[in-house]
Amino acid sequence: MQVLGSVRNRHYDNGVAYLDHGEYELAVAELRRVVGGGTGVSAGEVKLARFHLGQAHFLLAETYTQCSQWAHAEEHLRAALEINPHYPDLHYHLARVQYATDRVDDAKESVRKALRINPEYARAILLDGLISYRRGEWEEGAAQIARAAEVEPGFRTPAMEAAIALHTEGRNSEALLAFARVADMSVDEISELIRTAREKLRLGAISEAASCARDAVKMSPDYPDVRNLMGLVHLAREEYLQAVNEFKAALHLNPAFVAASINLGRACRAMGNEDAAQSAFRQALALDPENEEARELLSAA
C-alpha cells in the first residue's frame, strides 16, 4: 500500500505497515492513536489515518464474518460506517450480520440504506428480497429476488430456478431455505474470490490474482467490486487501457463508487492522461469530500 504525502508519524507508518501485512487488529490499534490526535499530529495525518482505519475495520469485519463471529463483525462494521457512512457495501454487510442473528427488521433497514446509495446493487436486492420472504411477504420477496437475477444474470442458476419453482408451488418454507442457500452461495463464493485476489495482489502474485479475478467476473460480471478488482489486476500488470475500462465499468454499475473513481484516476495518470486523472480524483472528492487519498492524489500532479 502506498503511503501518500510526507506523513512521518510513527504510529501512522506502523498502522499502514500492519494493514499491508494483514495484521488488522494491530493496524487498528496504531491508527486509532493517530486519529485520536495529540501533540505532533497534523490534520492531514488524522484524515489519512481515518481512511486506512476504515479499511482495517472492514477487513476485520470480513474476517470475523467468515468464521461466524457476528458480534465482532458488527462491531467493526459499525466502526467502519462511522468513518464511511456512504459506502453501500458496509450497509449491505451489516444487513447480512443482522439477518444471520435473526434481527430481520434491522437487516431490512440496513439493506435499504445500501440500496438508497446504489439502487442497482444486485446482492443487496437479493438480500432485500430474502428478508421480505422471511417476513412472510412472499410475493414482494419473490419479485425482489427475480429483479436481482435480472440485474445480475449470474444469479440465474439451477438452484435459483429450483427455489422459484418451490415458491410457485406455494411451498414457501422450503422456498425460503432454498433462496437463502442461493444468497449464501453467491455471497460467500464471490467474497472469497475477491479476498483471495486482493491477498495475491498484496503479495505480488499477479497471475494468481488474475485467475481469481477472472473467476469472479464469470460468476458476477455486473458486480462493481468485481470490475474494480479486475481493474486493479490490469493496473498491476501495467495494462492501463484495460484497467481504465474496468474502472469505468465499475462506475457505470455504481456511480457512487469512490474507490473506483480513485483507481480510475491512478490508471489515467499512469497512461499519461493527467486531465482525465484530475477529473477522476475530483469526482471522488465530490462523492466523499473528506477523502484524503483523493485530495493528496489531486494535488500530486
pLDDT, one tens digit per residue, over 161-196 is 999 999 999 999 999 999 998 887 666 677 778 888
The domain boundary, picked from 190, 222, 250, lies at: 190
CA distance 213 to 217: 6
Tell me, what amino acid is at 72? H
CA distance 143 to 129: 7
In this structure, are 165 and 105 located in the same domain?
Answer: yes
What pTM value is reported for the model?
0.69
Residue 137's φ and ψ, nearest 5 degrees, are -90, 75
The pLDDT assigned to 301 comes to 67
The pLDDT assigned to 2 comes to 40
Q: What percent of the chain has pLDDT over 90?
A: 54
In this structure, are 159 and 132 located in the same domain?
Answer: yes
In a domain, 261, yes or no: yes
Q: How far apart are the first and last CA of the chain?
A: 19
CA distance 301 to 299: 6
Q: Angle at which helices 138-151 and 122-134 pack, to 10 degrees? A: 170
The cell for 295 is: 485530495
In a domain, 301, yes or no: no
The pLDDT assigned to 188 comes to 60
The cell for 171 is: 411451498
CA distance 91 to 69: 18
Split at pLDDT 50, 70, 90, the class of 203 is confident
Residue 7's φ and ψ, nearest 5 degrees, are -65, 130
In this structure, are 162 and 72 located in the same domain?
Answer: no
In a domain, 106, yes or no: yes
Tell me, what amino acid is at 203? L
In a domain, 300, yes or no: no
CA distance 142 to 162: 13
In this structure, are 91 and 151 located in the same domain?
Answer: yes
Q: What is the mean pLDDT of the chain?
A: 88
In this structure, are 265 and 279 located in the same domain?
Answer: yes
In this structure, are 126 and 102 located in the same domain?
Answer: yes
CA distance 276 to 297: 13
In this structure, are 164 and 97 located in the same domain?
Answer: yes
Helix, strand or coil for residue 84?
coil
Going from the C-alpha of 243 to that of each of 17, 172, 228, the distances in angstroms are: 26, 44, 9
In the chain, the number of structural domains is 3
Domain that holds residue 73: 7-81
Split at pLDDT 50, 70, 90, the class of 1 is very low
Q: What percent of the chain has pLDDT over 70?
A: 94
